[in-house]
Amino acid sequence: MRRSRKPISEINVVPYIDVMLVLLVIFMVTAPLISPGQIELPSVGSKLTIPIQPLEVTLRDDMTLWMRDQATNVPAARVTRDELVGRILAKQAKQEQPVVLAAGKNARYEDVLAVLDLLQRNGVKKVGLLARPPAT
């Protein structure tokens, strides 16, 4: 006579406990050997750089270019395209001063791109567009 085997419905956890204890011993032995990483925190007296005010180039609706240095608070002066590039390059030779381009409401997109292209072709660095929030 043959006996039918009954399936075992219990889980044998003894091997899992053995593995867990071996891992625990490994971690307890290796933990003191690991040196903690060094974090260099900034000191209180560290030098902070003050952001440089940008040069503002304005393309008005009548296609004239005006340039104003926001760092010196000198009023905007009308410039030609050649003067614009020369003045900006002279300012950027002293320090890396950013340039922002603003345009009137009725200025054409192609004209704004032409000024941006002119500045980039002549090696002017840090050129961006100036956006003003709408008045409420």
For the segment 42-56, what is each residue's pLDDT rounded down to a tens digit? 777 656 677 788 888
Sheet holding 77-79, edge to edge: 77-79, 65-69, 55-59, 99-103, 127-129
Residue 92 in this model has a pLDDT that exceeds 90: no
pLDDT at 9 over 80: no
Instruction: Give this prediction's pTM.
Output: 0.57
pLDDT above 90 (res 98)? no
Domain 55-129 in CATH 3.30.420.270: yes
